Amino acid sequence: MEYNFLEIEKKWQKYWLDHKIFKTENDQIKPRYYVLNMFPYPSAQGLHVGHIESYTATDIMSRFKRMQGYNVLHPMGWDAFGLPAEQYALQTGNDPREFTYQNIGNFKRQVIEAGIGIDWDREFATADPEYFKWTQFIFTKLYEHGLAERKDVEVNWCEALGTVLANDEIEIKDGMMVSERGKYPVAKKAMKQWVLKITNYAERLLNDLDLLDWPEHIKEMQRNWIGKSVGAKVNFKVANSDHSFDVFTTRPDTLFGVSYCVLAPEHPLVLEITSMDEYETVKNYIEQTKQKTDLDRGDLNKDKSGVFTGAFAINPVNNKKVPIWIADYVLASYGTGAVMAVPQHDTRDFEFANKYGLDFIRVIDSEDDGCFTGDGIHINSDFINGMNNEESIETVINYLEDNGFGKKEINYRLRDWVFSRQRYWGEPFPVAFDEEGNTITLDLEELPLELPKMFNIKPSGTGESPLANAYEWVNFKKDGKHYRRETNTMPQLAGSSWYHMGYVLKTLIGFIPLNTEEAKKELDKWLPVDLYIGGAEHAVGHLLYSRFWHKFLYDLGMVSSVEPFTKLINQGMILGDDNTKMSKSRGNVVNPDDVISKYGADTLRLYEMFMGPLEQDKPWSTEAIDGAKRFLDRVWRMYFLPITDEVEALEFTYHQTVKKVTEDYQKQAFNTAIAQMMIFVNDVYRKKTFSRAQAIGFLKLLNPIAPHITEELYQTVFNKKDPLTYQEWPSFDETKLILDEVEVVVQVNGKLRDRMKASLDLSNDEVKKMALGLENVVKHLEDKEIVKIIIIPNKLVNIVIKG
């Protein structure tokens, strides 16, 4: 009767693979269901238990929907390009490709051993040439449509790594920017880079968030990152010079309250307008600012710093001179890189002015002596005196436009996507430059452009990618002309920006060409993804960029859905048993291989789903995983109880369980579904029997969570040849959920002493009388004084005694 999970799990994993049980059907009649995980980067560490949590959740949904009659697509692939593999190659002298694909093999083994049902015919890695051929093709289309350009931009440059880093690849250590990987110094540097004009899609990316069933905090993060503002662009002249600068403001009505202006340290005017007396101070401050991230500089909670340039600006509405400062909280990449400061009516300006002793000018009437940011009647403001905010904003904008001082404008915080990396291990750009510096894109027939085999992939030290050293690859002739290839590579996020489409197009013999009607037909059939599960850390990276690429391909007519992912769930983090984030340094990392070898994959899956709501962070508990194993052992032994054709005994509990589990799976409330199944198992043991229909139905309910044990019981106990995977999901009968009587628990001083059947909604007096007459209760009341009797209708009687 013992359940040999090691032997049985291997048996079913082999069966599923050999018979391609999870292969997506080419079925035009069944409704479709596309469920997807954010694919992993195949590191040397292998999968962790957090991966298994996410993959089990999607596997439950794919198995559940398959049994409900859906044609399910549940694929898996690998985010294979990127900096970690390149750094490993540099440190060890190994080939990053060999290292990456070796890790993929290990990851795939772990996914299979966790019982995750994947259509492996659709597997690919972003480093597969047959895949990145189409990543390169999409880039050529972006270029052709004016959405990709090469220009000088300020980037996060890491000398030690020899590459540009994205903001999410940087940390702050001792007030300085360092790389997340290796903790090397990072500084701002102007370099010629490819950028993608995601800003052209800002309004659509913002508005279409309303179409999505995503966590509200993720949508809010994207709204804030896009940062739409409606206001005015105002031109300020620099006193005693021919220079001027523009300021974007959402409060042009406060122009009469401007007491100083602030430029970003990187603003091109700064050193030109700075006085000789302030020049060294300003220059030093600019160098200090280069060590800070934009995120750190924009932190509203940080103490503000700045220096005076010695120059003054002219306020266009009253011709007053105001000092020009520079401060690191103003970013050149946001707005115009300059702000007008109204300290009496802006909290950030208020703090800065207080710190440096700058003037305060009240222009909105209020009883508040401090900084007032609300609506009110304007004062000290010439032609808008007596107006409220809304009326005065419109009036001031009209004045600015009539006099050539400014205009109404919509602004976004979103910046264009810096798309170049000075690395070897990434997608090569499908572009080249002729001898005059003109850019050409490669034709589809020339793709994929693969990386050359290189033994030395060290950074060049000049800011160029290691590919610059591959002379024969870089320099080539075409149509009698000499060309030089782009030596930068694409960022890791390139491959993940359209991979949800890649699975749809992947076949055993390659990819259906993205630019064909056949591809359009397949993409229209499967997109958008019905359920997408992954980490919240990708909110303004992958999740934003993939929406951008998807919308671009929608504009080209390659897809018909305006969004890639309909519903998004962010799984919570699995913490160590010390309630902190798992890390090697803390010694609290749990390896899923160890758990599976000791407890089995079904136990790991059940435990992780029972820890709590999928979205919450949860600490690991060895004691609790023992409990999950004991529950599955009870399920195994339960199928050696008498199984009859009699159904009446457990009718209510069974139909209640089918209803509850079905509804909970539908909303991904897996922990409460498991709790209900535990109730059913307890009731079966209490009755010491259950019916054949109930026994098979329960296996179907548990199968998505614990597929190995349920398949084994279905085959051996009921002599079934076809697996549970494609059996019909059980249904419940509402009429069986109407109770005439209930079981009431009877306690004495909170300890269980008996149970009794009572008619539904029996009066408290009648329930009390029945409880006091129970033999085991009477025994515990002998020579005792009853203090009170607590009754929870239809559930519980607790008799409180003393003595």
User: Binding site: what residues are annotated?
Assistant: 584
How far apart CA 325 and CA 308 sit, in angstroms, is 4
Label residue 707 exposed, middle or buried (CB < 10 Å: 0-12, 13-18, 19+). Answer: buried
- Amino acid at site 761: D
How far apart CA 360 and CA 258 sit, in angstroms, is 8
Task: Give the C-alpha distances (Å, rounded to integers) separating 791 from 261, 749, 771, 785.
Answer: 71, 13, 10, 18
Sign of CA dihedral 361, 365, 368, 374: negative
SS (H, E, C) 36-101: EECCCCCCCCCCCHHHHHHHHHHHHHHHHHHHCCCEEECCCCECCCCHHHHHHHHHHCCCHHHHHH
Q: Of 57, 55, 61, 66, which Cα lies nearest the Cα of 111? A: 55
How far apart CA 629 and CA 640 sit, in angstroms, is 18
**Which residue ranges are tagged as binding site for ATP?**
584
Phi/psi of residue 154, nearest 5 degrees = -85, 130
Are the beta carbons of 513 and 104 closer than 8 angstroms?
no
Label residue 568 exposed, middle or buried (CB < 10 Å: 0-12, 13-18, 19+). Answer: buried
Q: C-alpha angle 106/107/112, rounded to 5°?
A: 100
Q: Of 208, 209, 223, which Cα lies nearest the Cα of 412? A: 223
Dihedral angle over CA of 595, 596, 600, 603, nearest 10: 50
In which element (H, E) is residue 770 found?
A: helix 764-772
Task: Give the C-alpha distances (Å, rounded to integers) separating 478 from 49, 208, 428, 434.
Answer: 51, 43, 18, 10
**Taking the mean position of all CA atoms in its chain, how far away is CA 300?**
24
How far apart CA 551 and CA 546 sit, in angstroms, is 9
